[in-house]
Structures are given as structure tokens and as C-alpha cells.
Amino acid sequence: MIKAYAALKPHSPLSVIEYDLGPLGRQDVEIDVDYCGICHSDLSMLNNEWGMSAYPLVAGHEVVGRVAAVGVDVSHLKVGQVVGLGWQSGYCQVCSSCGSGDHNLCAAAEGTIVGRHGGFAEKVRANAASVVALPEGMDPKTAGPLFCGGITVFNPLLQFDVKSQLLLPVKVKLQKPKS
Ligand SMILES: [Zn+2]
Ligand SMILES: [Zn+2]
């Protein structure tokens, strides 16, 4: 059983709940959650501000943890590896966005806390394509927000090649997105 902090209804304090997620899907990853950021979207979902919250609702989509288990079809992540998980937890894998590496634009992308339980929990699950290995040397304690607010701001800086002396030197090796 997985223990988690859940809202049972909008604007309620979080309660501890337990659930069993059943067998791990072939392409899924189970993460032992070590850290999880709090984003304003968590608050919006906890309080059903967007009308799509399902209760009990376990928020948390800035997850950093260790791979606890991988589905039989997952080969690029290993048990024990430090990984992160953001807002999206699954993709169709067959549309043109998925085919060109722009999974974030997939019209069928699943939200980590939309209709599934997120990272305010001992464990969280997601499709392997949405789970990202943390680069060497990155502090797992502070990396969580990079998977939501961080990438939201950083991606356009990279896409549009924004240069500024104000930008801090980036220590991780970056790959420019295709096209
Ligand atoms: Zn967020
Ligand atoms: Zn897709």
C-alpha cells in the first residue's frame, strides 16, 4: 500500500490515505519519492479551480526520487536511478508531436495529478517517457521545481536563443530541442 497526503474535497486540509496501484504497466516506472515541490497548479487542483479534480486528490508534480521498479518494456531507466517527474506523466507516443520529440505538445498527454495520484506520496507512477534522469551533480533536494516552473521558463529561453548577461551559468549539459 502507498501512503499519501490527499485532499478529500476542495478547500479541505490534506489527510493521509492509502492505496494500491496494482501491477506496474509494461511501459511504466514506479518512483520512490524523496522530494516534491509545491506549485500553484497543485493548489488549483486541490481546490478544483479548473473543474477537473477527482477526489481524493493527491497533488504533487515536481517529483524527485529514485526508480523503485520499471515495467518490462522500459530499458532506459534503471532501479535506483535518481529521476524527476513533472506535470505530464504519459503520452500517446503515436502522434506527430510525440514522433518529433515534442511530447509536451501531445494532445493526449496525461497529467500527473489529473485522474491519477501525484507526488505527495511515498511512491508515484508514470509512463517512462515522462520520467527524466537527473543529471550528475544536480542536488535532488532543489531540483523538483525544474520539472514544472523551471522548464516552463527555461524552454523558451533555449528555443528562442535568449542571451543575457543576467542568465546564470548553467552547469548541466543541455540539448537543443529538435526543430
Ligand atoms: Zn506546476
Ligand atoms: Zn502524442
pLDDT at 162: 84
pLDDT at 29: 98
Could you give the CA distance from residue 147 to residue 64 in angstroms, rounded to a whole number? Answer: 9
- Report how far ligand 1's centroid is from the alpha carbon of 74 (Å): 26
- Report how far ligand 2's centroid is from the alpha carbon of 101 (Å): 9
- Report how far ligand 1's centroid is from the alpha carbon of 152 (Å): 9
- The average confidence (pLDDT) of the chain is 92
Ligand nearest to the CA of 148: 1
- Report how far ligand 2's centroid is from the alpha carbon of 99 (Å): 7
Pick the residue with more confidence: 162 or 134? 134
**Contact assessment for residue 85 and residue 34, using Cβ atoms and an 8 Å cutoff:** no
Q: What percent of the chain has pLDDT over 70?
A: 91
Domains of the chain: 2-159 (3.90.180.10)
Ligand nearest to the CA of 42: 1
Region 59-85 average pLDDT: 97
- pLDDT, tens digit (0-9, with 9 covering 90-100), for 144-156: 999 999 988 988 8
Region 48-62 average pLDDT: 97
Could you give the CA distance from residue 131 to residue 145 in angstroms, rounded to a whole number? Answer: 14
pLDDT at 161: 85
* Residue 75 pLDDT exceeds 70: yes
Q: What percent of the chain has pLDDT over 90?
A: 80
**Contact assessment for residue 38 and residue 14, using Cβ atoms and an 8 Å cutoff:** no
* Residue 165 pLDDT exceeds 70: no
Ligand nearest to the CA of 63: 1
Ligand nearest to the CA of 127: 2
Region 12-38 average pLDDT: 97
Could you give the CA distance from residue 131 to residue 125 in angstroms, rounded to a whole number? Answer: 9
